[in-house]
Amino acid sequence: MSSLVAALDASIEALLPELERIYQDLHRHPEPSMQEVRTAGIAADWLAAHGYEVTRGVGGTGVVGLLRNGVGPTVMLRADMDALPVVEATGLPYASTVTAKDEDGIEVGVAHACGHDLHVTWLMGATRLLAEHRDRWKGTVLAVFQPGEEVGRGAQGMMDAGMAERFPQPEVILGQHVMVGEAGTVGYRSGTILSAGDSLKVKLFGRGSHGSQPQTAIDPVIMAASATLRLQTIVSREIAPIDSAVLTVGALQAGTKENIIPDDATLKLNIRTYDEGVREHMLSAVKRICCAECAASNAERDPEFTTLSSYPLTENDAQATARVVAAFKAQFGERAYETAPAAASEDFSVFGRTWKVPYVFWFVGGTDPAIYAEARAKGKINAIPSNHSPKFAPVLPRTLKTGLQAMLSAAAAWIAGAGAQG
């Protein structure tokens, strides 16, 4: 176990009840992407109360806290803050009942169905403990509360707001994510751990008419339906079996009434890849197929393509990961394990890519151990409500404690060593 975390063990236990209350409050009050005003305020006030230099409004609602503690490495710790447009169905006593307007002006439910409320709580806990035990480490902690991860704009927005010029360059950037997995465990991986993700909106243009006169129309519903089916052949017929890729059409929107052929239809689709060549091929194939379906229908206009979000690969640095893994093995023993890459995507790597410094990202299990064991025994792990499910609900307090220990252990691999030398 890390000497820093071992020294903080009693403090971690004492802090957990307060952190659980903070987590439940954040869970009750989720905020949409790029609108995290309340959450950012809570994080900023917390940092200020514990002696951090605080900068608010970085790239929108982003918050940066800086704690200088002598000569040593600068370590960046990151948490994302935004919630999802989901109506919560967990039945928890602190479940969200919040609604808000999305970017299209549509009223939607809002819920922390991805666990970012837990990420914020973890970082709040870690920053407080590091501030209260400065005698145990040396260096600088850069705490980053990031907006807009779910729309892929938050990390880039913060970097575009001058983070590289305004704050010390970190030696390493560390981040974590709660996922389906036995609570109390931590999953690590060197190299690619998360896929690249691209979301597109494709608008197909037809010609509207009365449902009784299809010969006078160019039916965009047919175009959209045909394109949806054909798009599924990209992975099955154009990508080699040894390569991994996913293409999902998550929305097909057209028309308002059963006897009116509409003027247009819209597809919203998501692509996940682990190789840049595969990614480029799939993006090109989507455009080729949609354009071809429109041509086959004699559409008078080419489709319109809009990028909704784009996430780069998350590729953990090998040397930095080895350092984190050693810390995890010392802290968790067999509860730290090597995980397979996930088909989820993150904008976390934008910080490391832009700063050109190593980064490490890992998973923290959030599923009740008994539920996970039963599901695994029955071969039904996929039936456990996962991230983005309206029923996603990490179990407390074990998940809270493990994530806090993981973040502190990883940070200690750099700053506690500096303290020992100083």
Catalytic residues: 80, 150
Strand partners, 269: 200, 249
Region class of 132: left (phi > 0), else alpha (psi between -120 and 50), else beta = alpha
Tokens of 368: 């009740």
* Residue 126 identity (one-letter amino acid): A
Q: Do 364 and 403 contact (CB within 8 A), yes or no?
A: yes
> What's the CA gap between 261 and 218, in Å, rounded?
8
Tokens of 307: 């990028």
> H-type helices in 191-275, by residue range?
220-231, 233
Buried b (16+ CB within 10 A) or exposed e, 121-146: bbbbbbbbbbbeeeebbbbbbbbbbb
What single string gives the DSSP state of each residue in 65-129? EEEEESSS-EEEEEEE---BS----S--TT----EEE-TTS-EEE-B--SSHHHHHHHHHHHHHH
What single string gives the DSSP state of each residue in 314-374? EEE-HHHHHHHHHHHHHHHGGGEEE-PPBS---STHHHHHHHT--EEEEEEEEE-HHHHHH
Strand partners, 69: 139
* Residue 352 identity (one-letter amino acid): G
> What's the CA gap between 211 and 380, in Å, rounded?
45
* Residue 77 identity (one-letter amino acid): L
Q: Do 116 and 82 contact (CB within 8 A), yes or no?
A: yes
Q: Do 174 and 410 contact (CB within 8 A), yes or no?
A: yes
> What's the CA gap between 46 and 65, in Å, rounded?
10
Nearest residue to 401 (alpha-carbon basis) of 15, 132, 3, 113: 15
Q: What DSSP character marks residue 103? A: T
Q: Do 177 and 361 contact (CB within 8 A), yes or no?
A: yes
Q: From the CB of residue 95, how many other CB atoms can be counted at a distance below 10 Å?
A: 18
- The structure tokens 């010969």 sit at 215
